[in-house]
Amino acid sequence: MEEVMKKKLRMMVLFILVVLILSACNMPGAKPNPTPILFPTPNYTMTALFSQEGEIPPTITPPVVVVTQVEQTAAPTTAPAEATNTPVVLTATSASTSTSTVAAATNTAQPIRGGQWVYAKKMSTAPTFDGVWDEWDSTKYPATYVVYGKSEWKDSADLEASFRTAWDNDYFYVAVKVYDDKYVQDATGMDIYKGDSIEILLDTNLYGDLNTAYLSNDDYQIGISPGKGSIEGEKEVFRWFPSGSAGGVSGTKVASTKEDGIYRIEIAIPWSAFGVSPSSGKQFGFGLSVSDNDNSGEKLQQSMVSNLPYRSLVDPTTWTVITLSN
């Protein structure tokens, strides 16, 4: 009996303890402490999106994160430029210059100087020197650039010219037609440019000194007088350069005629005067100019026209190119 009473007492004590424990979980002031939920640390570049310091205002559209994949750079859509056959223009300079730009490669290179290129046609029969151009079937070229005395030059009737060129194994031929309203030539020798006259420039070593902007011993300046005193007067051919061989040129032929406001002149200069042997395809530097004087009794160069737009006597790079052709 006593044993039964002890068992009931233990059961009662256990019951009271369970009631007390359950009551303690719901007591006022008791604060729950839930286990925190842990998030993985955000990537550094995305930190702004995870910032808890402030929320995105409702009036601003939340940023959209675009994920891009870095790939190998694709080939350009524009095809690279192709090499061309366009000749390279070589600009003469008096001093060497450096540039940071590398020119594109080309298949061919061809020197070009100022002015229209001239072609001299080979003659099978030498022309008759009578001032008539019947035998001349080569191209006619203009000499209309006023390169000296612009203030004295009036118009094309005052001074303008055209010319033709030819060659054979012995001579270089030039025929010139000059519009000149008044013929005046009273000078001789080295002064023939101080009157109505023709000037021929020839660079016999074109490729040897293509960009040399000063005269050398292969550069020739030759003047031709159509006639002293009148067109029927004594003709003269004078060489100014090279200065070491200045003076009259032997073996030349000159014929001239005149009509109203025009005179014509035919000239033959032996190749020996230039120290060269001609052949088809040869090229030289070249220029042709005409001087004018309208003041009778005075030795004066008033103006000059040329086939060279930027003619400079002392700078052969301003001369053009003449080619001997068949």
3-state SS, one letter per residue, for 133-154: CCCCCCCCEEECEEEECCCCCC
Domain of 321: which CATH number? Answer: 2.60.40.1190
Residue 79 lies in a domain: no
Is beta strand 160-167 parallel, antiparallel or unpaired with respect to 253-259? unpaired
The one-character DSSP state at 232 is T
Q: How many domains would you assign to the chain? A: 1
Gap between the Cα atoms of 122 and 108, Å rounded: 27
Q: What is the tens place of the pLDDT at every residue in 171-182?
A: 999 999 999 999
Q: What is the tens place of the pLDDT at every residue in 108-153?
A: 334 467 779 999 999 999 999 988 888 898 899 999 999 999 999 9
For 276, the domain range is 124-325
Residue 271 lies in a domain: yes
pLDDT at 26 over 90: no
Closest CA to 286 of 229, 197, 196, 205: 205
Residue 203 lies in a domain: yes
Q: Are 301 and 135 in contact (CB under 8 A)?
A: no
Gap between the Cα atoms of 205 and 207, Å rounded: 6
Alpha helices in the chain, H assignment, sequence order: 2-24, 47-50
Residue 54 lies in a domain: no
Q: Count how many residues are written for the chain.
A: 326
Gap between the Cα atoms of 86 and 106, Å rounded: 7
Gap between the Cα atoms of 146 and 209, Å rounded: 27
Residue 275 lies in a domain: yes
Closest CA to 274 of 237, 308, 225: 237
Residue 66 lies in a domain: no
User: Given the structure tokens 């550069």, which residue do they identify?
Assistant: 219
Q: Is the peptide bond before 57 cis (omega within 30 degrees of 0)?
A: no
Residue 177 lies in a domain: yes
Gap between the Cα atoms of 245 and 239, Å rounded: 7
Structure pTM? 0.67
User: Given the structure tokens 């004087």, which residue do they identify?
Assistant: 293
pLDDT the model gives residue 21: 57
Is beta strand 303-306 parallel, antiparallel or unpaired with respect to 262-270? unpaired
pLDDT the model gives residue 39: 39
Residue 18's pLDDT band (cuts 50, 70, 90): low
pLDDT the model gives residue 281: 98
pLDDT at 33 over 60: no
Q: What is the tens place of the pLDDT at every residue in 35-48?
A: 444 434 434 333 33
Residue 111 lies in a domain: no
Q: Which two tokens stand for residue 140?
A: 């006619």
